[in-house]
Amino acid sequence: MENAVAEKTVIPGRASIILVSYNSLSGTTAPCLESVFANTDYPDYEVIVVDNNSSDGTPGYLRELAGREPRLKPILNSVNRGFAGGNNDGLKVATGEFLVLLNNDTQVGRGWLTELVRPLREDPTAGLVGPVSNATGNEQEVWVESASPKEILGQGALWVGTGRSEAVSMERLCFFCVATRRDVVERVGGLDEAYGLGFYEDDDYCLRVRRAGFTLLLNENVFIYHRGSGSFSAMPGTTKKLLKANRKLLERKFGIRRYRTTHPRERHLELIAQALQRLASGQDDTTLYRVENRLKKAELLRPRGFWKRLRFDYQLKSLKRKLAGCRVDLTEGV
């Protein structure tokens, strides 16, 4: 995993956005790129799309779009290099100080990139930064009630517009959208291509970044729409096999007997408690809306087991009482 990033002149402040595509042009790749070019107000950025040998017209679309959009750099692979391999191909030609891996089944909102890289700019110990979303499988996922991308992005804009929070420390980040700095990649290396087409390469990278002494941060001031399984929906038969094989690969690589991360419902409760504490102390502009949103998400993850459910319900009631107290304090102007 040497030479993960290009040995060329790096443009300070530039952000390189890297997408990997495999078919699903009209369903994911085209809408994603349209949203990126329409909603990115960052002053200097490039978009690198690595296509893994799509057969649905994606290569032609990328060539045509690159002719009209000078910030787009397509890389057309003759084989499917997988998620890790495709992103590594993009990293090798990237010229930015900030590097963003963005799934092609996402859509972004106005101002997303400027805010996403802010913690990386301000904190040299920050190694990876991720946003909140509607579909992630961990505590980055917040509650939404809409179905269409446009409606979900509208709810995401409401989340972002209701306040500002300090970035919070994370155990792992999902790589549907993650930002890093060039110095981090130079130290840690690229994604491990031993994971093949995908799954657990993001867990692997998070472990490596943390072991290198960097922190993982969740920036709750950025919301990204994520469709989920944009490429793997075309290959459902491979999903279970990849998950099982790659989990074992990760465990062997890091000497972990059984790889586990904190359950999202527990992390939601932790984040709610932290937000209520900050809100009560006036440390930042965390809002009741965000707390109430996470409460809804946590309730959807209520455990089935009796003792786990009993403990969870106790924690939830305690947080709701604290939330009620915050409401009273805010009403009274405290």
What is the domain-level CATH number for residue 123?
Answer: 3.90.550.10
| Residues 19 and 81 both lie in one domain | yes
Tell me the residue ranges of DSSP E strands in the chain.
11-21, 45-51, 72-76, 96-102, 106-108, 126-133, 168-169, 177-181, 215-226
The pLDDT value recorded for residue 162 is 86
pLDDT tens-place string over residues 111-127: 999 999 999 999 999 99
Q: Is residue 159 part of a domain?
A: no
Question: What percent of the chain shows pLDDT beyond 90?
Answer: 78
Residue that is last in its domain, among 231, 254, 277:
254
182 assigned to some structural domain: yes
pLDDT of residue 230: 46
Question: Are both 250 and 269 inside the same structural domain?
Answer: no
Structure tokens at 44: 């200097």
Does residue 6 fall inside a structural domain?
no
Q: Considering the domain boundaries, does residue 162 fall inside one?
A: no
Confidence at residue 8, expressed as pLDDT on a 0 to 100 scale: 63
Q: Is the separation of the CB atoms in 59 and 51 below 8 Å?
A: yes
Q: How much is the pLDDT for 133?
A: 97
CB 128 within 8 A of CB 213: no
- pLDDT digits over 21-73, tens only? 999 999 999 999 999 999 999 999 999 999 999 999 999 999 999 999 999 99
Whether residues 232 and 192 share a domain: the answer is yes
Assess whether 194 and 48 both reside in one domain. Answer: yes
Strand ranges for 62-153 from DSSP E: 72-76, 96-102, 106-108, 126-133
Could you tell me the two tokens for 274? 């932290």
**Both 183 and 314 in a single domain?**
no
Could you tell me if 99 and 132 lie in one domain?
A: yes
Residues of the chain below pLDDT 50: 1, 230-231, 334
In one-letter notation, the amino acid at residue 263 is: H
Domain termination residue (choose one: 196, 219, 254): 254
Report the distance separating Cα 151 and Cα 156, nearest Å.
Answer: 9
320 and 179 together in one domain: no
The domain boundary, picked from 226, 254, 282, lies at 254
The number of distinct structural domains making up the chain is 2
204 and 250 co-located in one domain:
yes
Task: Specify if 96 maps to a domain.
Answer: yes
Do both 285 and 243 map to the same domain?
no
Is 236 part of any domain? Answer: yes
Domain check: are 122 and 269 in the same one? no
Boundaries of domain holding 280: 264-331
Dist CA 187 CA 131 (whole Å): 23
Query: Does residue 212 lie within any of the structural domains?
Result: yes
Phi, psi of 3 (to 5 degrees): 55, 45
User: Do residues 231 and 269 both lie within one domain?
Assistant: no
In a domain, residue 144? The reply is no
Residues 247 and 313 in one domain: no
pLDDT of residue 47: 98
